[in-house]
Structure 1
Amino acid sequence: MIILIGGSFAADSFMRFPVPGTNEPHYLTKARHYWNPQWCADDFFLESSNAHLFLFQTVGAVTQVLSFPLTAVLGRIAGFLLLAIGWYRLINILCPGFWAPLITAWFYLALAAIGNFSGEWIIGGIESKVFAYGFLFLALANACEQNWNRAGIYAGLTITWHPVVGVWSLACSLFALACLAFFNRKNLDRKTLVHSLKAAIPALGCLLLCSLPGLVPSLALLMQGDPKDSFAANYIQVFYRLKHHLDPMDFNLFSYLMYAVLLVTWLFLARKESPSFTSRFFQFFIIGTVGLACIGILLGAGPRPASEMPYYAFRMSLLKFYPFRLFDALLPLAFSVAIFHLIQQYLNVDSEQKTTPAWLPPALRKTILAVLCLGIFSGTLYSAWNHPPIHKMTPAQRADWIDACEWIRDHTPEESLFLTPAHATDFKWYAQRPEYVTYKDCPQDASGIVEWNRRLKYLRKWGQEYYNEGFDDRALQALQQKTGITYLLVKRLGPFTTIDPIYQNRTYKVYQLP
């Protein structure tokens, strides 16, 4: 069953996000540079602070032996296997029935194919959060079973792999436990409380110990930079670079409507679920993620530009911690569980209770469920196969892009520094040369974000100041002296009136600065 679940995740991932996927060039190139600083030396992003240090320390070692594509493939397989194990453990506890973990996984993939709330995803390319969610599912499964020490270990590993996912998950777990204690307060006595506190001490110790490899670097990163840089970086991050994740005023209306329907439906169906500790803990955990999202909406709601919001500096300093992330990723999971319970109730597949008409035989009920679920999964895979490419290029443009990058890799010095098209995402993946700055590769420390923004602004200013029916030697000399750029890979930028391309194909040109 675990293989089927992991295979379903992998099939959707490889069809919807062919290698390299959404963030794989972003993280895997940094992981290689972490182990080999001479590779793409002087690349601004690669030499910035390492926010996902544990990923670079582990997966980065693989990039020293294997190619980027093979590392990505093996990373996805490992990540989806862990995710499948966690999914299987959690769903087995929440839903009775042999096929429940696989069917709910198919439901989840179908919902993910429709859309999301804040750009959060679990099934895609390989990065830290894939492993983090796998450990989170294991932590939730053990918490539902009240195996607190194991839950603490897995929660700590969640924080190590992805501190934002892990810390918010811990907050939602504590919220769930507080709600359970409040509603069960009549049955609590001093002896029970003392016993619970004694049981919590080793669990908290396990959690803290397992979280240190990810928590310590993240705290150190937050403390870097002076207040002026931190203020500027928060504004750039929340209301410019990552506004599609962090600014609720930037989310589209369809996202709000879709998640409102999911939430209302889940709340309605959850009323009929078992009042057991397992069910209630999971429900309160999901409500905790809803609460975080509501706080995020309140923090971000207001006029634009954001500087007109009251206390906007404080509000954006909280928004940068992704308050919508768990709600976005886990509400579809809770909805999938609730829908499966509803199907069980009305099709009576795994229950002896006769809730369906007598004229509908059990074998036919099972066939209906099987056909329905296979149809949903087949439709999901078809949508993945028919999904537009993430790089937003035609096949011919994509071939030209890879061709130009591979020519650069084979014919330019390793110490070259390139100016690349503004929204290029995988230049280092194919060309293996450093870039001056690129929109996708934004650092995550305050001083790095400010410098990233300064470099982009300089390039725009340079283009406006020096363009005169093209760029002459004076413009190129100013660019080189200010940035250290030695080569240009361009699509539309130009013309350059005093130099000729050293290589070109149908779409791209490569120039060497004099």
Structure 2
Amino acid sequence: MTGPPFGSAIGQDEGSSGERASGTDVRPTAGMLLPALILWALFLSTSFVRAPIPAVNEPHYLGKARSVWNPDWCPGDFFLESSNPHLVFYWTIGWLTKWLTLAQTAAVARAASFALLAAAWTLFSRELFRSRWTGLLAACLFNLLMAFGNFSGEWLIGGVESKVFSYAFVFFAAAAWFRARPVLAAGLTVAAVAYHPVAGLWTVIAAGMVAVDYLWRGRKSSGSKDASQIDRQVLAVDQETSTRDISTRTLSTAAMVLTVGTVAAIAPALPVVLGSAPEIGRQADRLLLTQRVGHHTDPLLFLDSSYLYYGVLLGVWLGAWFVSSPGPPLRLVQRFVAASLVIAAVGLFIGWLPEFSSVDRLHPLRLWLLKFYPFRLADLALPAGIALWIGYWCDRPAQGEVSPARSWRLGSLAALAWIVALLLPAPDANPSGMTERVYDDWITVCRWLRDHTPTDALIATSNEDWAIKWYADRPEYVSFKDCPQDAAGIVEWWRRRQGLVHWSRQSKADGVISAADLDELHRQTGIDYLVVSRYGPFDVSPVFEFGPFKVYPVRLEPSPENRRRTTPPAGP
């Protein structure tokens, strides 16, 4: 007996995934709607509780998106005028900023991205489990395992950024693949690459590794089988699908869509990798890994607790692999997890080479390879794989119709996992690093800058630099968080930061920062206002002071012929 695709009426559950896979309709039905809506609510609540707006990367991503749609916003900001590697995200989200504030845009974009992710996970998990509620349980367990920690700093449920959309399309692609829709799966994978080239490409590579593994084992066991029959074995996820006539032409079309689409999708990001001279590229790689993202890319810098936690997860996952006998869909997913672990293992080997060989830690090839974040896919895939194993064990006793009592038990376990995840400490809940009172003072200072300085006044900070553009609507000279991703931009980012350090040392040589020192800073950098807290002392008066923060004009006597500023607004 076969049930309707992707679910039945609310309150009922289908039989095995093998039964469900007899159709090719990928349209959602009422049976999927309730779990998807619940999962969406759980994702959103987790996002807002554990990562209040603005989350750690939202000023970075949404500021860029707003600038793409409105180049006159924060003119002269160094980061906003750099390369746009996540251009599809900026295109599809940035238009909201024409009518909404950045905070409102973040809320709407979170709602949209997590709705997409919830729908994708629901479609994906319905191909793995008998009960529609098992997928909800697996998602809550996945979220819980991510809340406990990570390996290289990767996460999925938090603020909105391009990778949330990217991974949603990955799950959509997997669901389409399980439905024997290879062309659709290829197109959805291209969308994943377009939203986040690094995350999407690692997904393509891992999926390719799984396909090569299936092809190799298929040829080894089949002997005289022709290539098209072996290709169908790679696509097969159950007995029904394996006997369906999936033509070689269809698979070839899917391969062409994936290849051509991926090349087009990564085009906006190519200047990041190829757009500079070799020497500039090597310098940028060194700066990127030693000064900015080494905590995500260099395993020599990862925390011991991260190694311990993921070592435990790996042990659990391997144990489940050897004691479980899942159906074809889940087996395929776990092979994808294995592929992500192989990629991470290669990254670990490259990263740890300096510890057991003569390879220098700053060897250009080592730095170049690690900058592609080889651990980010496994960082998510391993906890997801364990959550799906647990879902498999919880789903095994279900035969045919699932009783309401069993559905309640699955729902209760899911609710418990969700509540525990909400209660766990969230490292990124306060990305500013300020206390609540100081943070309020900081926002007040940013609002003053917005209301009492020209729209293109260039701002620099000495200690805190959190979300200047978000709150003040003013361009920044340089920001630690807002590091460009192209090589020339990275080198310039470092030059600006070091230039400020050099100016600070020179200006404080006599123990006080004078008006002449501030004039020199403006001459060197074009900075108009300097925001400080602990930095000083100054022998000039600030134009604004609130809490621990002071705002100093850098150009004390502006030249009329050089002022291209607009008249500052009188008030809010």
Q: TM-score range by the shorter chain?
A: over 0.9
Q: How does 1:58-457 map to 2 (within 5 A)?
A: 58-185=92-219, 186-187=221-222, 189-190=225-226, 192-193=229-230, 197-211=248-262, 214-274=265-325, 276-303=327-354, 309=360, 312-345=363-396, 348=397, 350-351=398-399, 369-383=410-424, 388-457=429-498
Aligned residue number for residue 55 of structure 2: 21
Computed over aligned residues only, the root mean square deviation of the Cα atoms, in angstroms, reads 2.4
1:151-183 deviations in Å (ceiling 9; x for gaps): 101111011111111111111111111112222
> Offset at 1:187?
2.8
Q: Does 1:503 align with 2:540?
A: no
Contact 2:135 2:391 in 1 (8 A): no
Aligned residue number for residue 357 of structure 1: none
For the residue of structure 1 that corresponds to 2:156, the secondary structure is coil
Distance 2:289 2:249 in 1: 41
State the AA in 2 paired with 1:457: Q
State the AA in 2 paired with 1:447: A
Contact 1:418 1:487 in 2 (8 A): yes
State the AA in 2 paired with 1:464: R
Q: 1:302 to 1:422 in 2, by over 3 A?
A: farther
State the AA in 2 paired with 1:34: V
1:265-318 deviations in Å (ceiling 9; x for gaps): 1122123444543233212111110011001111111448x9962782111111
Aligned residue number for residue 358 of structure 1: none
Q: 1:91 to 1:368 in 2, by over 3 A?
A: closer
For the residue of structure 2 that corresponds to 1:504, the secondary structure is strand
Q: 1:154 to 1:228 in 2, by over 3 A?
A: same
- Unaligned ranges ≥5, structure 1: 354-361
Q: Does 1:479 align with 2:521?
A: yes
Distance 2:153 2:429 in 1: 16
Q: 1:481 to 1:308 in 2, by over 3 A?
A: farther
For the residue of structure 2 that corresponds to 1:451, the secondary structure is helix
Q: Does 1:33 align with 2:67?
A: yes
> Offset at 1:370?
4.3
Distance 1:371 1:310 in 2: 49
Contact 1:53 1:217 in 2 (8 A): yes
Aligned residue number for residue 359 of structure 1: none
Q: Larger deviation: 423-432 or 291-300?
A: 423-432
Distance 2:281 2:359 in 1: 19
> Offset at 1:107?
0.6
1:394-413 deviations in Å (ceiling 9; x for gaps): 11001001100011100111
Structure-1-length-normalised TM-score: 0.92
Q: 1:136 to 1:397 in 2, by over 3 A?
A: same
Distance 1:309 1:124 in 2: 36
> Offset at 1:48?
0.7
Distance 1:418 1:488 in 2: 6
Q: 1:367 to 1:278 in 2, by over 3 A?
A: closer
Q: Percent same amino acid among aligned pairs?
A: 36
Distance 2:38 2:394 in 1: 21
> Offset at 1:72?
0.5
Distance 1:39 1:371 in 2: 48
1:409-457 deviations in Å (ceiling 9; x for gaps): 0011112111124452311000000111010100000000000001111
Q: 1:384 to 1:79 in 2, by over 3 A?
A: farther
Q: 1:386 to 1:296 in 2, by over 3 A?
A: closer
Distance 1:267 1:154 in 2: 30
State the AA in 1 paired with 2:449: I
> Offset at 1:134?
0.2
Q: 1:277 to 1:371 in 2, by over 3 A?
A: closer
Distance 2:544 2:550 in 1: 6
Contact 2:530 2:553 in 1 (8 A): yes
Distance 1:371 1:228 in 2: 57
Aligned residue number for residue 13 of structure 2: none
State the AA in 2 paired with 1:461: H
> Offset at 1:352?
7.4
Distance 1:310 1:456 in 2: 23
> Offset at 1:71?
0.6
Q: 1:81 to 1:388 in 2, by over 3 A?
A: closer
Aligned residue pairs total: 502
Distance 1:220 1:302 in 2: 29
> Offset at 1:213?
5.0
Contact 1:244 1:251 in 2 (8 A): yes
Distance 1:307 1:398 in 2: 47
> Offset at 1:199?
2.9
Distance 1:343 1:277 in 2: 17
For the residue of structure 2 that corresponds to 1:511, the secondary structure is strand
1:466-494 deviations in Å (ceiling 9; x for gaps): 20322112321221111011111111111
Contact 1:180 1:280 in 2 (8 A): no
Contact 1:417 1:484 in 2 (8 A): yes
Contact 2:458 2:474 in 1 (8 A): yes
Q: Larger deviation: 385-394 or 99-108?
A: 385-394
- Unaligned ranges ≥5, structure 2: 1-34, 232-245, 557-572
> Offset at 1:322?
0.8
Contact 1:423 1:439 in 2 (8 A): no
Distance 2:111 2:314 in 1: 31
Contact 2:136 2:414 in 1 (8 A): no
Contact 2:57 2:161 in 1 (8 A): yes
State the AA in 2 paired with 1:481: R
Contact 1:158 1:211 in 2 (8 A): no
Distance 2:180 2:464 in 1: 48
Contact 2:463 2:535 in 1 (8 A): no
